[in-house]
Amino acid sequence: MTELDTVAAIRRFNRFYTRAIGVLDRAYLGGPYTVTEARVLYEIAQTDGVTPGAICAALALDAGYVSRIVARYEREGLVSRARSPSDGRSVLLRLTPAGREAFLALDARSAGKAASLVERLTATDRSRLAAALDQAQVLLDPPAKPTPAILRAHRPGDMGWVIEQHALIYGREYGWGAGIEAVTARICADFLEKHDPGRERCWIAERGGERIGSVFLVKESEDVARLRLLLLTPGARGLGLGRRLVEDCVAFAREAGYREIVLWTHAVLTAARAIYASVGFQIEETWTHDEFGKPEVSETWRLTL
């Protein structure tokens, strides 16, 4: 998707959502206030005393505009002001009892409007929507300190994600065709059908509720385990997460009693190969195949435990 496609998608959603929640109406949610006036009331309601400057910063509004809105609320008896005890030059704004009542009524109408938008959705679709909205916010306004990634065991639905990501990422970055999706699907199906919990495991890397990586360790023989399907999404790279996944595989293999780990990779996957080498794997065989639509140099690596 190009930048222009992304911009067009954002604008389409903006047109839909502003219409759906009534942003274009003069009286927001059927009340006496515009959207901006309602947001100012919301900011005042969030703390026991907020400065006009803090409201301006939070909403990116002109100080004169905020002052006029606050003056209206004072005339209507919704907001009171007092000198800040820590800075006599500043004032703190608070809701009066009438202001609190007005805010709660507005907040209830807002929640009801949101509920009406999702009432026809199934529980699964509501979860998908919430996750998509969270992801959109993180992408457009990433937190100053990224949420740490966790490694967890597989759950229902994870195998579909693993198959999809291998097809998308390897297709986009290396031009691989349907062969990689077919291979990944067979590996995932075999894992689910023959899973031996004491000697096999799948790790899913997750950050903020979003899947960002995977790796598998499966039984090759009583003494040999096979590392499979190491993958990180583009946004998860460069954080040391790939090495964490591989090191967890190695630690589990030792605990399970294996003597060796083997893996299959390709010469073009330089980042993964660097991780394998750093952990102690060594190349023992290379060959060329075109199973993914074009010739690729394939490699077997082995680690003695």
**What does the mean pLDDT of the chain come to?**
87
- Residues 21, 26, 31, 37: is their CA dihedral positive or negative? positive
CA–CA distance, 231 with 218 (Å, rounded to integer): 16
The tokens of 49 are what?
Answer: 């005393």
* pLDDT score recorded for residue 299: 95
| Count of residues in the chain | 305
pLDDT digits (tens, 9 = 90+) for 181-202: 999 999 999 999 999 989 999 9
Total Cβ atoms within 10 A of residue 135: 13
Q: What percentage of the chain reaches a pLDDT higher than 70?
A: 93
The predicted pLDDT at position 1 comes to 66
Domain spans of the chain, in order of start: 3-120, 150-304
Q: Which residue has the tokens 């639509």?
A: 293
Q: How confident is the model at residue 304 (pLDDT cuts 50, 70, 90)?
A: very high
| pLDDT (tens digit per residue) in 237-294 | 888 899 999 999 999 999 999 999 999 999 999 999 999 999 999 999 999 999 999 8
Q: Global pTM?
A: 0.58
Long-range contacts of 92-95 (CB under 8 A, 24+ apart): 92/49, 92/50, 92/51, 93/44, 93/49, 93/50, 93/51, 93/52, 93/55, 94/44, 94/48, 94/49, 94/50, 95/41, 95/44, 95/45
In this prediction, residues 174-186 reach a mean pLDDT of: 93
Tell the CATH topology of 150-304: Aminopeptidase (3.40.630)
- State in words which class domain 3-120 has: mainly alpha
Helix intervals (H) in the chain: 3-20, 35-45, 52-59, 63-75, 97-118, 123-140, 158-174, 178-194, 241-256, 270-279
Fold agreement between 3-120 and 150-304: no
In angstroms, rounded to a whole number, what is the distance separating the alpha carbons of residues 278 and 274? 6
